[in-house]
Each structure stands twice: as structure tokens, then as C-alpha cells.
Structure 1
């Protein structure tokens, strides 16, 4: 990757770090029973800086912004009229680093939105 691609990769990683940290801590507690991850989150949430870094806007907004930035770099959509036919073409460049960030950001978005849905879903009897 060139220098702008490296800069975008570092920016994407920085945007995804709060979500990665929160998801990793949650998975360590739920899957492996490591209570230290929950205690670490409790200690961190006592400080204002970490409350801002782990707020829902940053945790959800970071991966969404990283996804959009990498999709902008990787994907191309074109539309044109050729011989009285309207042609729409979608292409994806083979940029491994950007595709990796795109996949990681998409996975984080899916995980967080899925968790939010399942956690708040209530079955109402009628």
C-alpha cells in the first residue's frame, strides 16, 4: 500500500479500536469466563475519558466510518448508456489491506447491531 493507503489503514484501525476492545472484553467474559475483563471495563468506565471512548456513538460510529472510508477506496459503481441499453457496473479492487479493514468493520457492525437487537428484543404475548 502507498502512504495514503497506510494512513487510511491506521485511521481505520484507530476508529475500530474502541469497538474491538469492547467486543473482545465481552467475548472473554461470556465465552471463557474471564471476569477480569469485566472488572477492567468497570475501572475504565470510572474515568471520563474512557466513558467518551466507550460511548455508543464512538463504538458504533467508528466501525461505520471505517467501513465507509474503505468501501470508498475499494468499490466503484458506474452507470452509462451504450447502444440504447442502460448498463450499471459494480467493481471491487483487489486491495488486500482495505478489504481486510472492510471485512473487520463489517463484522464489528454486524456483531454490535445483532447484540443490540437480541439484547433489547422482547416477545409480547397477545
Structure 2
């Protein structure tokens, strides 16, 4: 019995949880981003101070620079910790956030778009 309790304790400690991307974006929402980024006023330096370095930088067809920030978080669902359940499939849930900031020729924000979506992966009998 003590062995089973020890295995359960280790399973609880080794909970499957992972995140990738810009950690500053993790705590942001559309409302908090709107407080930090003002179209026509906020500069590249302001955005960098607020959010750090972007995940990627690119130029669109009109030559405007775009910065992209991303953050994804995923964790194992509770069903994965039921004995023998993972033999029949697994289930994870999480959230993905993406912020695209577009700058004009002077380096001032001309537009931005914040997306947030729930994500999950289910396999086996849990995929229905």
C-alpha cells in the first residue's frame, strides 16, 4: 500500500505542464494590451519595454514592419492520472496567445491584433 501511495505522490509532483514563447504575453489579455499599446502613439521602444523582444519580425507587402509575440501553455488533463487510463488515450488542454504589432515608417504602432484561443490534444478514446 505504501508503494502505491508513493507512486501516486510522484505522479502528482510530475504533472505534465509546459509553456513556450514570450512569458510576458502569458498574463496579457485584449484589455491589458489595449492599455499598453496605443495606435499612432506607442513606439517600438515602448513595445519592447512592455513585452520584451518579439518571437519574430517581418515586413508585409506594403513594407510595414510587423512584430509577432506568441505564448502557448499546455497541461495534462486529470484523466491522464487515472490508473491505466493512458493505455486508452491521453488528453491535454491549454491556451495559445498571439499578438501582432504593425509599425509605420517612423516606428510607431499603426495597428495591432491580439488573438487568444483554447487548445487541446486528445488521443484514443478521448478524441471523440
| TM-score, shorter chain, exceeding 0.5 | no
Which structure has the highest strand share of the two?
2
Question: How high is the TM-score relative to the length of structure 1?
Answer: 0.30
Structure number with larger C-alpha Rg: 2
